[in-house]
Structure 1
Amino acid sequence: MIAIIALVTALLGTIYALSVSPVYESNLLIQVKESSPQTADVPGNLPAALDLKTQTSTEVEVIRSRTVLSRVVEATKLDIVVEPKYFPLIGASIARGSKNISNPGILGQGGYVWGAEKIEIATLNLPDSLLGKSFALTVEDNNGFRLVQKELGIELNGQAGQVTRARTDAGDIEILVEKLAANPGAEFKVSRIPKAQAVEQLQKSLSISERGRQSNIIAVSLRGSKPEQISKVLNQVGDEYIKQNVSAKAAEAEKALSFFKQQLADAKKNLENSEAKVADLRSRNGTFDVNEEARNLMQQSVVVQSRLVELRQKKAELLVRYRDEHPSVVLLTRQIQELNNELGNIKAKMKALPNVDQELVGVNRDRQLNAEMYAGLLNMGKQLGMVEPSRIANSRILDRAEAPFESLNMKRSTMIAVAWLGGIMLGIVVAFLRGLFAGKIHDPREIENSLGLMVSAVIPHSESQKRMYKKIRRNAKEVMLLPMDKPSEGAIESLRILRSTLQFLMRESERNIIMMTGPTPEVGKSFISANFAAVLASIGKKVLLIDADMRTGYLHRYFGLDRTNGLSDMLVTMTNIESFIHKDVAENVDFISTGNFPHKPAELLAHANFGKLLRMLSTQYDYILIDTAPVLDFTDALIVGTHAQAIFNVVREGVSSIIEAEEAVKRLSRAGLTVTGVIVNDVMPNSSRYSYGASRYRTFTPSLEYHGRETERIQLLRS
C-alpha cells in the first residue's frame, strides 16, 4: 500500500511540476522627495497651494489609482489577452524549455504550440458584446492569419503588419497584428477584456508599500508568468506616475504663481498710493519731520498691523479646512483680538498729537507698511523662481524594474522529490490509520468468515451496565450485577443462550473449568465473567468465580469487596483455603479476588500450586469461571488455559479488530489450546444483524457451514 500511494503521489507531483506555470516577481522603487522648508525671513506664510510636501501613503494610493493604471493598461495592452494553444498538462512546460519555433500540432493536427512562438497584437477593437469572448487565431502561409469565433460564426483573414477590418452582426472588428513569429498551423487564443476589468486585475496584482518606516521609498512589485511583461508593466506604472505627479504639481504651481502675481500687483498699487499721499501732504504743509513720540507710535502701529495681516492670512487658510470652533482657529482669533486692542491703544495715543502730526504719522505708517509688504513679495518671487523647478519634480524612479531570471516556484526536481517523500509519508500515515481504524469488528459474521470460529454469543449494548460501570469506577461498596437488577436486559438474555450452549458442550466432560480472556484490554471480559457467573448460578448450579487477572483485574468491585486476601496470597500459602473465598457474593456464587498484585504473576500461575488448587476446588463446584489477563499482552491466559475445559475469547464491537482476534486465537493454538468460541460484546442496537427491544430479541443466526464447524468442536471437546 505504501508503495502504491508513494507512486501515485509521485506521479501526480510530477504532472503538477510539469504543468504548473512558473511565477516571477519584479519590483520598482520610487523615491518621494520632501519639499525644502520655507525661508524664515519671508513675511507671512506661502499660500497653501505652494505647500507641495507629499505624504508617502497618499502617493501609494495615487499609484494604485485608476487614473494612473488605466494609462498603463492602454500603453501595455493588458486588456488584450494572447495565449498560445498548448497541449494539456505538459505542452506549456515543453514550450518553456524550447528557444526555437516548433512545428505545430501533433502530426500536423490540433494547432498545438511546442516552442517559442509569439505574436504581438497592437490593436484589437471589438464591440462590447464580443468583449471577453475567445477567438482562435491560426497562422497561415505568407505571414497571414485567420481569426475565428466559432460560436458566433465570425471568421476573417488578415496579414501581419496591416490593419484588418470586418463588419459582423455583432459589430465592427478591427485588428492589427504587428509581429507574427510562428509556423503555419500554429494556433493562439485571443480575447479582449473590458478596460475597467483589466485595471481592476492590475490593482489586485500590484503590491505597493513604503519600504521601511518614513523612508519615503515606495516599493512596487508585480508577479506573473511572463518576466518581460511584468517588468514592462512596472516600468510603465513608474513612468505614468511620474507624468501624473509632474502634471499635478505643475498645475498647483501655476495656481500659486497666479495668486502671487495678483498679490504683488495689489501691493505695488497700494505702495504707489501711499507714496502719493505722503508727497501730497508734504507739498501742502512743507517739508518737515515728526517728533520722537510720533515716530515711535508710527513704528509700533506698523509692527502691529503687519502682524495682523499675517494672522488674518493664516486664519483665512485655516478656515478653508476647519470650522470656527477648531482650536487653531480659536487661538488665532484670540491673538487677532489682542492685536486689535493693542492697535486701538496706539490710535488713542496718536489722537493726543496735533492734527498735522496725526496725518503725517498715518500716511508714513501706511507707506512703510506697504513698502515692507511689497519688498517681502518681491523676495518671495525670487524664492519661487528658485524653488519651482525642484518642487514640481518631487518624485523620481530610484530603481527601474528588470526582467527576473529566477522563478519563485520550487524547482521541478525538488517538487518531484518532495512528491516522492510526501507520498511515502502519506502511505505510512494511511497504513497506520488503516491499522488503527480499519478491520474493526462490526458484524459477527466477520469472525465466522475470517477465522472460522464459533460465535457463541452476541451481547448487545446495555445502558444499565454503562451506569453500573460508572459506580464500579468509583469503587462503590455494593453488588452490581445485571441479572439481579435488570434480569430482562438483552445482554442477560444473550448470556442465558450462552449458558445453554455451554451446558450442551460440557454435559459429558469431566472438567468444569471455564476461562474468559480477550485479545486486548477494555473488551468487557470482566463484565461477561461477573454476570455470566450469576446467570450460571441462577439455575441452581454452584459457581466459583476467580479473578486471575493479576495485572489489572478489578472483578472485586462488582461485589463491593476489596482486592486483598485473594488468589496471589492463596497460591503462596496454600493453607486455610476457605478463608480466601468470599462466600455467596451472589446467590450460589463464591468469589476469589486477585489478591495483592505479585511481581511475577505468570510464574505464580505456572506453579504447581495453581493446578493443585483448581483440582481441589473443582470437586466443590459445578462450574469454576476464571477471568484472565489479555492474551496479546501477557502469557497468563496461555497458562490458565491448560486447566480449562472451555475457553471463550471476548471481543468488542468497534474496539477489537479481526487481526487482534485472529492473533489471539493463534497464540492460544500455538500453546496447544483450542478456543471454544467467541463472544462479541457491546454490539450496538442499530446494527442490521440483530435487534432487541422491550418485547422481543433476535440474535445472530449462524450459517450451515457454521453449524458444521460447531459439531466438530463439540466432538473435539468430548474426546
Structure 2
Amino acid sequence: MSDGSNQAKVSVLKPQTQSVVAERAQVFDNRADRDDEIDLLALVATLWRGKWIIALITTLAILMGGVYAYGVAVPLYTANSVVLLETKQNQIADLESVVSGLSGDTSEVNSEVEILRSRILLGRVVDRLDLESDPEFNASLREPGLLDNVKSSVIGGIKAAIGQTEQEPSLTPEQQAIRTHDNVVSALLSKMQVSNIRQSLVFQIQVETTDPQKSADIADAIAEEYTSSQRDVKYEATEQASEWLSERVAELKLELEEAEQEVARFSSSTRLVSAEALEGLERQLKEIRDRIVANTETRTSLESQLQELDAANTLDEKAAIAGDRLLSQLAEDLDGSDRSRAAFDTRLAAVISGLQTNLTRVERQLASLTASAATLEEQITQQTEDLIQLRQLRREAEATRLLYEHFLTRLGETSAQRGIQQADSRLISSAVVPQVPSFPRKSLILALSGMLGLMLGAALILIRELRNNTFKTAADLEALGGYAVLGQIPAMPIKKRNEVLSYVNDKPTSAAAEAVRNLRTSVMMANLDNPPQTILVTSCLPAEGKTTASLMLAHNFAAVGKSVLLLEGDVRRRTLNEYFDVTEKRGLVSVLGDLAKLEDVVFHSQALGGDVLLTEESRVNAADLFSSDKFSKFIETVKTRYDVVIIDTPPVLVVPDARIIAQHADAVLFNVKWDSTSQPQVQEALRLFHNSAQRITGFILNGISARGMKYYGYGGKYGAYGAYASKYYNS
C-alpha cells in the first residue's frame, strides 16, 4: 500500500479503535464485578468434581492415623489424685503468727499451684521413687531412635557448615549428677499437670506415663510430698521460733536481773526520797524565799532612812525622818541652849545607831536566808534528779519484766506445738490405677485424621481449580472475551491428522460433524445481509486445533454445495500438508511471486470436497508477504472464483500474520482449545486484535472432552457433549 492509503485507513480506524477499547473496558468491569462474588454452587460443584481425590486423600489420612494410633503411638495412662486446701484449722495453742493457716484467696490458691509444680517438691518425688533409674524420665538410659540420630546428624551438619566445632566442656561427676537430676525433674514436670477446680479449694494432680501403676504412684507421691512439705515447713518454723524464743527469753532474763540490781544499787547509794518529802522541801524553800524578799525590803528601807537622815539639813527634818517620838519632842523643846542641843544630838545618834544595828541584823539574816535557800535548791535539784532516775530504772525493770513474761509465755506455746503441726491441705482422693490408656484416643485420632484428610483434599482441589484458568464452557469464554462462541467442537477419536476427513466422511452424524454444522450456521447467520465469504481461523498458540477446525469447516461448506478454497496462511510451519497426500511442491508463495498460476498449484481433494492451496518455504518474510498488494489482489481474485475462502493462519501470540491477513477477511474465528488455552493468553491475543482496531467474529471452543465435561459437572447440560447426546449422534 502507499503511504496515503495507509494514512487514510488509520484515520478511519481511530474511532473504531476507541469504540473497541470502550467495549472491552466495560466487559472487564463486568467480569471484575462477577469475580468479587462467591458462587457457593460453583464451589460445591468444584468439590464434588474432585470427590474421588478428596476421598482418596481422606482414606490415606485415616490409614495413616490408624497406623499411628494402633502401631506407632506409645499408650499413655493418666492418674489423678485430689488435694483439698483447708483454710481454717484449730490451733491447740494460740500461735497463729508462727504457723497460721491459709486465707484461701486467689493469690494464695495460685501460689499453692506453683508450689505443687515447684522443682524442689518434684525433686523429692524423684528421689523418693528413684525416677533417675527410669528410662522414661532419664533420657540418657534410652537407646537413641531413628529420629534422634537424624536430629543429631542434622545439627552436627549445621554446626559443621557454619564452622561451629567447639565441644561442650567436660563435667565433673557431681555436676553430671546435678544435671541428670535436673533433667529428670524437667521430664516429670512435663508429664504432670496441676489444676484448681473453679470456685473451690480443690487441686487435681494429673500424671501421664506409659505405665498405669507408675502414674498412680507418682500422683500420690506428689500429693503426699505436698502435704508433708507443709508439715515440715510448719515444724521448721516452730523449731526456729522455739530456738529464737529460748535465746530471747534467756537474754531478757539477764536484762531483767541487771535492771532490778541497778534499781537496788541506786536505791542503796542515795537517800531514800519520796515525792511527798520533796514537796515539803519545796514549801520550805518557798517560805525562805518569802522571808528573803521581806528582809530585802527592810534593808532597803533602813538604807534609805539612813541616807535621808544624812542628807537632812534641819533638826526638824531629821526628827521627821527618824520617826522617833522622843526625838521629835526634843526637837520641839529645843530652846537654842547647848544642853537641849546635846540631848537632841545624843538622841539622834542613838536613833542612827539603832538604825545601823537593825540594818546589820537584817543583812545577816538576809545572808543566812540566801545560804539556806541555795542549800535547799541544791538539795531539791539533786533529789529531783535522783527520783527521776529511780523512776526510770524502775520503769525499765518493769518493761523488761513484762517483755520477759510475754516471751516466756510464747515459748511455752511454741513448745506445746512441737509434733502436732497440721498441714494446710489433705488428700481427699488417692489416684486410681487406670485400666485404659488416655492416649492415644484412637477414635478421636481417626476422626481428626479423616477431617484433616478431607480438608487437605478439598484444599488441593480448590487450589488446583484456582490455578486452572482455562475454559470449560462457552459461558466462561464469552464472559472473558466478550464475544459469542459460534461453535463447540468435541474431540474426535482419531490418532493422526490425516484421519480427520475420513472420520467426518465415515460418521456424518457424529457429534463433531454436527458441531461443525452448528459452527457453519452460526458463521453464516452472524451477518445475514452480507454473509462472510473470506473466513479466517486462528488461535493463541500452536497445537490448539485451529487447522482441524479450518479443515472441518471447509468440508462442511463443500457438503452443502459451496465452492470452497482452503488456503494455508501459515508460511512458517506449513502443517496443512499433513492432512493430504500431495506431491505438488509449489503453492501460495509461488502464486504471489508470479512463479506459477493459481490453477496450476491448487488441487482438489475428494475427501474435502473442495480445493486446497498449500504454501511452501520462502525467504521472504511472511508478514511482508501478506502485507503486499499482491496478496490483497490475490484475495480479491479467489473471492471471484470461490463461494467461501477459509484461511488457516498462524497463532496470534507467536507472529503477527493473522492480524495482517484479518484485514482481508470477512469473518475472524478465534479457536480456543478446551481446558488448555489459558485466560491470560486469550486476553493478550484479543488485546493485540483490539490494538489493531480489529474485531473477531466469534470463538470456537475446540477439543471438548465428553468425559472431562462430566468430570467438571457439565455432562448433562451442554449441547453435543451432554448426557443425552448419544440419542442423536453416532460418534
Question: What TM-score comes out, normalization by structure 1 length?
Answer: 0.39
Q: Which structure exhibits the higher relative contact order, with contacts defined as CA atoms closer than 8 Å and separated by 6 or more residues?
A: 2
Structure in which a larger fraction of residues adopt helix: 2
Rg bigger for which structure? 2
Question: What TM-score comes out, normalization by structure 2 length?
Answer: 0.39
Structure in which a larger fraction of residues adopt strand: 1
